[in-house]
Structure 1
Amino acid sequence: MADLRAEHVKYREKDDAKWMHAQPIKPQRVLRSISEVLDAGDYLVTDASASSRWIGPYFPVKSLGRKIITPRGVGPTGFGIGALIGTCIAAREFDIGTRVPRNVLFTGDGGLMNGGLSDFETIVKLGLDCTIVVINNAALGFVKLGQLARGVYETNRPLTDFARIAESFGGHGTRVEQLAGLDAAICDAVHGRGLQLVDVVVDPKELLPQAFY
């Protein structure tokens, strides 16, 4: 067992070196930043989009229990924002502890578009403290991966500015394009009040973890 753990550590260190300081920003690096801010009692919500495929290999579980809310196995893209609202309400009403847990949605641009941006109004209207972190690669990840394998290249989307959309609903939005601003933006959002959205422009060429295929 000790040998296996040592091999695992070596593999992780080698893998981390590929994306830790990379520019454009990698999705793995965004999850690392989220992980460093969340505590064991906080909640991470994921969408059913390609973004959720990064969670298993790159987000460490810090405690027992249902702290990661995900729809894996069914694939309802757009699940994330509704699940975030439900998690925020449940955490505020039913969690017993020294503080109300923080709640973060990790989603892609495609998943968030499918989930209903009008729910930003719901978050603001209910006065919920919710953080949304978008890995924005201007593409539908699963669709792009499948189409490129077949030589079809009409897979890109406009690079939507979700930070401005969040602000138009009365929330706070930050767009991150450079790695130097990533950690501070996510930390400020997670510790902020109300609707907080961090729109991270990530490397569109970074493929999903291949171990899942």
Structure 2
Amino acid sequence: MRSRCQVVSNALPFRRSPSFACAMLGLALWVAHGPRALAEGTFAVTSASVRAGGTMEAAQVFNQDDCKGDNRSPQLSWHDAPPGTRSFAVTMFDPDAPGRGWWHWAVAGIPASVASLPENASASGFLSKLGAVEARNDFEISGYGGPCPPPGKPHRYIITVYALSTGDLRLGQGRPALMFDHEIGTATLGSARMVVNYGR
């Protein structure tokens, strides 16, 4: 009984070897059914300020009491958002803080046409010019609040960019970060994240 590849090779207008036909069939199937990245990329986030799996730089660390950083929100870039994305949201959360964790940053209402934020977008006014709104973090301030864990084991800081199905979550500036997190969850089409560490 002939293989499927042999049948295909005999049907070619120019007779080729079965191995050539098998190679061509394999290539066609790979293009048609290969990794989705060929047709559409994977939603991902990168940063020029911090490195995934690395240590948070002093520029991003909180500046209060015995934490002596510059409290600059990190530069972020993202690509290949899901189809139907109407806006983006960004959060930074520390799951290792005592209790329920610690919200450092939550911003929503970033237009779908935007694919990056410069460093210090929070304090510089860049986000407000876009029409985005920022939550009140667990330091009880609106906007970005960098890492400031207690001395001991380093904490993880999860930076997430969300692609949303709506351009308006009806959130106001300075509302609690938990409220932002809930509303973001109701409209998420996809998310991309990176984890950065910091300890004292």
| Same structural fold, with TM-score higher than 0.5 when normalized by the shorter chain | no
**TM-score band w.r.t. shorter chain:** under 0.3
- Superposition TM-score, scaled by structure 2 size: 0.23
Instruction: Say which structure is richer in helix.
Output: 1
Larger radius of gyration: 2
- Superposition TM-score, scaled by structure 1 size: 0.22
Instruction: Say which structure is richer in strand.
Output: 2
